[in-house]
Amino acid sequence: MVIPNNHDSQSDSTQLAIDVRGLGKSYGRTPVLRNLRLQVPWGQTLTVLGPNGSGKTTLIKTLAMLAKPDAGEVRIAGLSTRRNGVRVRRVVGVVTHEPLLYDGLTGAENLRFFARMFALDRIDERIHAVAAQMGVVERLDARIGTLSHGMRRRFSIARALLHSPRLLIMDEPESGLDQQALGLLEALVTDRSNPTRTILMTTHNLERGIALADRVAILSRGRIAYEGTPDAGATKAAYRKQTEGQAEQPVPEQNEDDCIVHDGAKDATVPTAAYSKQAQFHAKEHNVETCEKALDR
């Protein structure tokens, strides 16, 4: 199964990269996102700040279609994530706390698997390009499960870049990276060679988030409580105001069923399965053929 490379008139560059209206998400009886509204135009880098439990990871997962919203609408490149999931996934690259890689495969095998899923041309060239961009060329033949957390994070970012997504969504991408890797990440975020490349990322590092952003937003109690230009003084003051006296709350564990977004067609659920722990669980033989069978189930 592959993600088709379909063009849709709704995904025209005149549309917003991200348009979120009235987004709500709860785990059990615990609300995490509450009537959240957010718009991000093409070509902008938005840093989302907020304390633990504010909903940052849930927002990332919902935008990336790794969690189903309970209310509201999410549109990516003008396309509804509920109705056009397959086409949306071709536009989006995702980096989460989980690497979304198969531990039993080498770095090269992982990247080749996802390149085939996206039906990319010149796969070996593309693998080498993203591996060089993240400084992992020399580790391509190592199994992911044997690598350090930081090296796994590098491969996770390389995977997200593989299909040249117009929108990059990253949850604390700097986590576990050494200084060299941080420099590579900063070069990626500040690269303006593609004027429509859009990035939404979360971070706990206010200074880095402000320095890399075109705009910043503060998520507090499941809502966007502040949005503005990346002025260090104003952003830090707003952050203190919004988080003062707010105890950090753990977000409840996510049910695996929330990871599957149904688009009304069998094929539409396949790409999400590739990102789920279920697919990893079924890849018992740790090779690409078995992983593909897991996607076909």
Please check the confidence at residue 197 and state whether its pLDDT lies above 90. yes
Phi, psi of 17 (to 5 degrees): -65, -45
Asked whether 215 and 46 are in contact (CB, 8 A), the reply is yes
Question: What is the predicted pLDDT for the residue at 22?
Answer: 96
Q: 0.85 exceeded by the pTM? A: no
Tell me the mean pLDDT in the region 15-31. Answer: 93
Alpha carbons within 13 angstroms on the beta-carbon side of residue 151 total: 16
What is the percentage of the chain residues whose pLDDT exceeds 70?
A: 77
More confident call, 221 vs 93: 93
Tell me the mean pLDDT in the region 181-189. Answer: 95
* Domain assignment of residue 6, yes or no: no
Question: What is the predicted pLDDT for the residue at 252?
Answer: 52
* Domain assignment of residue 1, yes or no: no
Tell me the mean pLDDT in the region 67-94. Answer: 94
Please check the confidence at residue 125 and state whether its pLDDT lies above 90. yes
Question: What is the predicted pLDDT for the residue at 192?
Answer: 87
Question: What is the predicted pLDDT for the residue at 108?
Answer: 98
* Domain assignment of residue 163, yes or no: yes
* Domain assignment of residue 2, yes or no: no
More confident call, 293 vs 195: 195
Question: Which pLDDT tens digit goes with each residue over 244-268?
Answer: 755 445 545 454 344 333 333 333 3
Tell me the mean pLDDT in the region 114-122. Answer: 94
Tell me the mean pLDDT in the region 170-186. Answer: 94
For the beta carbon of residue 69, count every other beta carbon within 10 angstroms.
Answer: 23
Tell me the two tokens of residue 154: 């590098």
- The answer to which of 134-148, 214-228, 269-283 has the lowest mean pLDDT is 269-283
Question: What is the predicted pLDDT for the residue at 2?
Answer: 53
| CATH number of residue 145's parent domain | 3.40.50.300
* Domain assignment of residue 92, yes or no: yes
* Domain assignment of residue 255, yes or no: no
Total structural domains within the chain: 1
Angle, nearest 10°, between helix axes 123-133 and 107-117? Answer: 120
Question: What is the predicted pLDDT for the residue at 279?
Answer: 42
* Domain assignment of residue 9, yes or no: no
Question: What is the predicted pLDDT for the residue at 280?
Answer: 41
Q: How confident is the prediction for the chain on average, in pLDDT?
A: 82
Question: Which pLDDT tens digit goes with each residue over 52-75?
Answer: 889 999 999 999 999 999 999 999
Amino acid of residue 28: G
* Domain assignment of residue 249, yes or no: no
Phi, psi of 216 (to 5 degrees): -125, 150
Tell me the mean pLDDT in the region 160-186. Answer: 95
Domain that holds residue 107: 15-242+264-296
Per-residue pLDDT band at 3 (split at 50, 70, 90): low
Tell me the mean pLDDT in the region 83-112. Answer: 95
Question: What is the predicted pLDDT for the residue at 261?
Answer: 34
